[in-house]
Amino acid sequence: MSDRPDPDQEVDLGISLETIAGIIDAARAVGELEEEGNNEDVQDEENEDDNDPDALADTLKGLIDELNEDEQASLIALTWIGRGDYDTTEWAETLRLAKERNEAGTAAEYLTGMELFGDYLSEGVAAFGYPVEDIAR
């Protein structure tokens, strides 16, 4: 069974591509700042908030918390697909399991706790034929 979707069947991801792209960008920025912070002191005294991975992570969590439950479940499901836990042919089941996973409303904590969250989400969206680089921002 192929993990690529049938090009004749459009899948409703349950969340806008623009929203996904913004979350991917924020997640990757957090990861880059955390990596830089581990390697050297990158604090710019004039713009400390711009270089504070904790502040940026809080912003990312806020973006996810603002989403409704269905959108949060879609993010979780797309991340699982990008991580290789499921493939696109299992979208309905993956989404159902993601909704169960998010019953406590902890999507932001769960997703931002993944070291490669932005990359996994990007891969998940790309698996459906939407490369993040092509998504308008």
Question: Is 116 among the domain residues?
Answer: yes
Query: What is the chain's alpha carbon radius of gyration, rounded to the nearest angstrom?
Result: 16
Question: Is 31 among the domain residues?
Answer: yes
Crossing angle of helices 53-65 and 17-39, in 10° steps, is 160
Question: Is 86 among the domain residues?
Answer: yes
CB contact at 8 A, 122 and 81: no
Can you give the pLDDT at residue 110?
Answer: 97
Give mean pLDDT, residues 111-115: 94
* Helices and strands (DSSP H and E) totals, the chain: 6, 0
Question: Is 9 among the domain residues?
Answer: no
Question: Is 103 among the domain residues?
Answer: yes
pLDDT band for 85, please (50, 70, 90 cuts): very high
More confident residue, 119 or 11: 119
pLDDT digit string, tens, across residues 1-55? 444 445 456 789 999 999 999 999 999 999 888 776 655 554 445 545 556 778 8
Question: Is 48 among the domain residues?
Answer: yes
Distance, CA of 8 to CA of 99 (rounded, Å) = 26
DSSP label at residue 93: H
Indicate the number of domains in the chain.
1
Question: Is 8 among the domain residues?
Answer: no
User: Domain range spanning residue 35?
Assistant: 17-132
